[in-house]
């Protein structure tokens, strides 16, 4: 062994990923409004009826105005039921009117995509096609100290609100979903319908009480009694005057569950002529409006100095459209617009545009609403909705009684709204730039949690440190901002597995003992380590953030069976998934940019990549990029938030990198030699991994950017007895590919 010298070769400083550099400000409040079943033509129809023109709603002046795709993973209704993968094809959409009848989502899959960034099967509530739970945005908001609330005009345990606070393989398990929302959701506000004692006219029933939507009679009684909800029990309200008083600020509570005196909807399912013109049938008087509930929710949530997340759903727009009730469709869309107005009024009254982000979108379109001459086989199948003046029903026609695969509006305004605009990467010939519904989650998650910690960021500088491990002594040597950081006697003879296990933005010292399956983790700020046994004995450790909660999960990969074993940090649940075969090399990384690490394997015999997302299904199946002697080195080399397929040629020291979509970034870039091992990570904090190699015998690092600029050429940090602390290095070492 010889003494080491260090060279401080990088300009240090926090940097954001390429996409996020557009908008660095973080909102204090995030308000998401979802028009369930709405679409561009639904918005137009209500605007024509209410105002005789478009441009009078708050979202019409929002700074970001995009379209958004809504398709599910597939149209099956159970995990793994498969079928054709969902898609939106803009060319097919405008060449065949009936194309919109394909790849239909439902509110569960669509809301899950918005709430957790996961494409899944129809009926799933934060449940993936692999049978694994995913984390909704509400829990991310709560992890930052914010309050959280949900408001809807339908039962609160219905699909859209449920996707923000529950997990279930089927949306139809209403009682179980309601129970989770009430007892284990972390919500501070929960408001909607589903009252077991009242009908849809707001009248008290004498019998036939239905407790399905509220979790059963026992839970309902405890909710009403004020004993449900744990250490901070819910304050229960149901009378219109109670909502009004709360909205006016006459009373306040730390936590409120408001169940309107309505069985299923605030107004849409009331008696009378369901096909009458808007407002001809009088509204019931025993239920608050959606706008009133929104104002009441804001009064509760605004008490938190750390801010809040609020989702408001116009849930009954979908009900009216599915029933082809044009009058009630106008009523429900207008009620949703009034809720948006209530939000903007609150922001204006509190001068809060400087710290608030508002997003307005739809989970899917319902009814295929177009103009009166629309339809398959018509001269103009996409005949536009006709404006006949304010107070007059516009000319419209329903072409379906269920959902469609058309694009829906996506509006944003306020702090970092421009971040949403960067996701409008696709182009529709009619609606222009469009994003995907999962992009809403991606943007909001970033604005809540920031960029995920890099594997070797031990000081929180948003960049990977040069780090080596001495197995014989269990010593870690890290090049920090001020020089050497040494942690002695930590994991003698074990495998170093550094990662951010506690979500504080700092990598934690950790080791794995394969002979016992024991993890030892020294979390940042703790005086002692925690130990936990998980995984298959003699498994290969592959820790990563598989559930997207900002914390690395314990995970192992079994070579003989290609079995992945994951312990989700957010839920405490374990998951096993077979992906690969005995000769494939695990290459976990976030290939789809949703904040969740994906299961990836590389087949060295043929140079093929196989990637499965726990949240989105199969991403790559036999994608060829490599050869038998190539070394897989996946990382995000272009800073777009997606890991790239990459291999290193150890014989020639050449790098070959391509995106999962197929576009090539580098083909034969020379940076290395036969005695060096690849160590790509983000060493300068710009969000993109560098081409890097480490010479173990010489203890030297050679680092250059994919653009060609050199960051280090022989920086000395280590010696022949140490090994680089790089997650992928440890995997390759276990396979005998690198020394």
Give per-residue pLDDT as tens, 723-739: 999 888 999 999 999 88
Tokens of 453: 């910690």
Tokens of 581: 């075969």
Residue 16 pLDDT grade (very low, low, confident, very high; cuts 50, 70, 90): very low
User: What is the DSSP code (8-state) at residue 85?
Assistant: B
Which burial class, exposed, middle or buried, applies to 348 when counting CB atoms under 10 A from its CB (0-12, 13-18, 19+)?
Answer: exposed
* Three-class DSSP category at 635: strand
CA 638, 644, 645, 651 torsion-angle sign: positive
- Label residues 570-608 b or e (16+ Cβ within 10 Å = b): bbeeebebebbeeebbbbbbbbbbbbbbbbbbbbbeebb
| Structure confidence by residue, pLDDT tens digits, 148-157 | 999 999 999 9
HSE of 125 in the Cβ direction (CA atoms, 13 Å)?
23
Please say whether the beta carbons of 72 and 121 come within 8 A. yes
- Label residues 11-47 b or e (16+ Cβ within 10 Å = b): eeeebbbbbbeebeebbbbbbbbbbbbbbbbbbbbbb
* Three-class DSSP category at 330: helix
CB neighbours (10 Å) of residue 244?
14
Element holding 241 (H helix, E strand): helix 240-248
Q: Which residue has the tokens 């557009």?
A: 22
In this predicted structure, the answer to whether residue 10 has a pLDDT above a threshold of 60 is: no
In this predicted structure, the answer to whether residue 77 has a pLDDT above a threshold of 50 is: yes
Q: Give mean pLDDT, residues 429-455.
A: 90
φ, ψ for residue 118 (rounded to 5)?
-110, 120
CA 661, 662, 663, 667 torsion-angle sign: positive
| Contact residues for 305 (Cβ-Cβ < 8 A; gap 6+) | none
Residue 486 pLDDT grade (very low, low, confident, very high; cuts 50, 70, 90): low
Tokens of 426: 């696709």
User: What is the DSSP code (8-state) at residue 318?
Assistant: H
Please say whether the beta carbons of 566 and 554 come within 8 A. yes
DSSP string, 16-74: --TTGGG-----SEEEEEEETB--HHHHHHHHHHHHSSSS-SGGGG-SEEEEEE---SB
| Contact residues for 263 (Cβ-Cβ < 8 A; gap 6+) | 193, 194, 195, 196, 198, 199, 200, 210, 269
C-alpha span between 654 and 310 (Å, rounded): 50
C-alpha span between 407 and 261 (Å, rounded): 34
DSSP string, 567-629: E-TTT--EEEEE-S-TTPEE--B-SSSSSS-BEEEEETTTTEEEEEETTTEEEEEEEE---TT
Residues composing the chain: 739
Residue 578 pLDDT grade (very low, low, confident, very high; cuts 50, 70, 90): very high
DSSP string, 343-361: HHHHHHHTT-TTTEEEEEE
Tokens of 59: 């979202």
| Contact residues for 185 (Cβ-Cβ < 8 A; gap 6+) | 138, 165, 166
| Contact residues for 703 (Cβ-Cβ < 8 A; gap 6+) | 9, 683, 690, 691, 692, 710, 711, 712, 715
HSE of 201 in the Cβ direction (CA atoms, 13 Å)?
7
Tokens of 602: 């590389």
Please tell me the predicted confidence (pLDDT) of residue 5: 36
Please tell me the predicted confidence (pLDDT) of residue 21: 38
| Contact residues for 526 (Cβ-Cβ < 8 A; gap 6+) | none
Geometric angle at alpha carbon 200, from 199 and 206, rounded to 5°: 10
Residue 611 pLDDT grade (very low, low, confident, very high; cuts 50, 70, 90): very high
State what percent of residues in the chain have pLDDT above 70.
95
**Cα separation values, 170 from 112, 173, 403, Å:** 12, 6, 18
Please tell me the predicted confidence (pLDDT) of residue 185: 79
Measured in whole angstroms, the distance separating CA 460 from the mean position of its chain's CA atoms is 24
Please tell me the predicted confidence (pLDDT) of residue 17: 38
| Structure confidence by residue, pLDDT tens digits, 669-721 | 999 999 999 999 999 888 889 999 999 888 999 999 888 889 999 999 998 88
Looking at the DSSP assignment, which residues form a beta bridge with residue 314? 35
In this predicted structure, the answer to whether residue 415 has a pLDDT above a threshold of 50 is: yes
Question: Edge-to-edge strand order for the sheet containing 563-567?
Answer: 540-541, 554-558, 563-567, 574-578
Please tell me the predicted confidence (pLDDT) of residue 8: 34
Q: Give mean pLDDT, residues 414-426.
A: 94
Give alpha helix (H) positions in 310-384: 316-322, 326-349
Element holding 92 (H helix, E strand): helix 90-93
Residue 60 pLDDT grade (very low, low, confident, very high; cuts 50, 70, 90): very high
SS (H, E, C) 680-692: CCCCCCCCCCCEE
Tokens of 360: 């307005």
Please tell me the predicted confidence (pLDDT) of residue 640: 84
Residue 6 pLDDT grade (very low, low, confident, very high; cuts 50, 70, 90): very low
Looking at the DSSP assignment, which residues form a beta bridge with residue 640? none
φ, ψ for residue 680 (rounded to 5)?
-70, 125
| Structure confidence by residue, pLDDT tens digits, 94-153 | 999 999 999 999 999 999 999 998 899 999 999 988 787 888 999 989 989 999 999 999
């Amino acid at each position: 062994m010889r003494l080491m010298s260090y060279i401080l070769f990088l300009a240090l400083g926090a940097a954001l990923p390429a996409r996020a550099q557009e908008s660095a400000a973080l909102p204090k409040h995030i308000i998401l409004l979802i028009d369930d079943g709405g679409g561009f033509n639904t918005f137009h129809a209500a605007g024509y009826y209410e105002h005789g023109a478009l441009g009078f709603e708050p979202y019409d002046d929002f700074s970001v105005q995009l379209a958004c795709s809504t398709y599910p993973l597939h149209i099956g209704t159970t995990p793994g039921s498969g079928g054709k993968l969902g898609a939106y094809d803009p060319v097919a959409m405008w060449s065949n009117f009936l194309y919109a009848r394909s790849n239909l989502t439902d509110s569960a899959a669509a809301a899950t995509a918005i709430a957790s960034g996961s494409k899944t099967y129809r009926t799933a509530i934060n449940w993936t096609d692999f049978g694994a739970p995913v984390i909704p945005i509400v829990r991310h908001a709560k992890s930052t100290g914010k309050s959280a609330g949900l408001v809807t005009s339908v039962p609160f345990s219905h699909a859209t609100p449920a996707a923000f606070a529950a997990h279930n393989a089927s949306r139809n398990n209403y009682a179980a979903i309601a129970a989770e929302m009430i007892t284990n959701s972390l919500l501070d506000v929960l408001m909607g319908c589903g009252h077991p004692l009242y009908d849809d006219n707001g009248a008290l029933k004498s019998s036939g009480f239905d407790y399905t939507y509220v979790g059963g009679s026992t839970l309902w009684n405890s909710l009403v009694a004020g004993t449900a909800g744990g250490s901070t029990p819910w304050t229960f309200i149901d009378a219109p005057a109670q909502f009004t008083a709360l909205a006016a600020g006459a009373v306040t509570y730390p936590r409120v569950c408001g169940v309107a005196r309505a069985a299923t909807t605030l107004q849409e399912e009331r008696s009378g002529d369901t096909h009458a013109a808007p407002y001809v049938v009088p509204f019931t008087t025993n239920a608050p409006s959606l706008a009133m509930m929104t104002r009441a929710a804001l009064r509760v949530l605004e008490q938190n100095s750390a801010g809040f997340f609020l989702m408001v759903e116009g849930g009954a727009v979908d009900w009216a459209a599915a029933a082809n009730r044009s009058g009630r469709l106008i009523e429900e869309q207008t009620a949703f617009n009034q809720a948006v107005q209530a939000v903007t009024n609150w922001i204006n009254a509190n001068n809060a545009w400087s710290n608030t982000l508002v997003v307005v979108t739809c989970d899917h379109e319902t009814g295929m609403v177009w103009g009166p001459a629309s339809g398959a086989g018509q001269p103009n199948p996409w005949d536009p909705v006709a404006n006949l003046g304010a107070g007059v029903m516009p000319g419209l026609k329903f072409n379906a009684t269920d959902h469609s695969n058309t694009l829906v509006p996506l509006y944003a305004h306020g702090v970092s709204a421009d971040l949403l605009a960067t996701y409008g990467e696709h182009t529709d010939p009619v609606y222009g730039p469009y994003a995907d519904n999962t992009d809403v989650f991606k943007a909001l998650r970033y604005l809540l949690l920031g960029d995920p910690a890099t594997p070797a960021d031990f000081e929180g500088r948003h960049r990977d440190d040069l780090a080596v491990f001495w197995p014989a002594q269990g010593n870690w040597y890290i090049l920090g901002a001020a020089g050497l950081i040494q942690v002695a006697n930590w994991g003698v003879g074990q495998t170093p597995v550094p990662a951010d296990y506690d979500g504080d933005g700092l990598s934690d010292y950790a080791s794995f003992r394969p002979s016992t399956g024991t993890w030892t983790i020294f979390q940042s700020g703790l005086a002692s380590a925690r130990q936990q046994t998980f995984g298959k004995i003699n498994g290969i450790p592959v820790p990563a953030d598989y559930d997207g909660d900002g914390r690395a999960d314990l995970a192992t990969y079994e070579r003989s069976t290609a079995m992945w074993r994951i312990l989700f940090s957010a839920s405490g649940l374990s998951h096993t998934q077979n992906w690969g075969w005995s000769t494939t090399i695990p290459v976990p990384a976030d290939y789809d940019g949703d904040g969740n690490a994906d299961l990836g394997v590389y087949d060295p015999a043929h140079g093929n990549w196989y990637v499965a997302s726990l949240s989105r299904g199969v991403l790559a199946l036999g994608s060829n990029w490599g050869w038998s002697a190539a070394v897989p080195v996946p990382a995000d080399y272009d800073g777009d938030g997606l890991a790239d397929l990459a291999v290193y040629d150890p014989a020639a020291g050449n790098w070959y990198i391509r995106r999962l979509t197929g576009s090539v970034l580098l083909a034969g870039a020379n940076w290395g030699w036969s005695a060096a091992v690849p160590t790509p990570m983000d060493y300068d904090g710009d969000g993109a991994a560098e081409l890097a190699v480490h010479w173990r015998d010489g203890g030297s690092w050679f680092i250059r950017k994919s653009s060609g600029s050199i960051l280090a050429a022989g920086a000395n940090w280590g010696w022949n007895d140490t090994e680089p602390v790089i997650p992928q290095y440890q995997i390759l070492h276990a396979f005998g590919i690198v020394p």
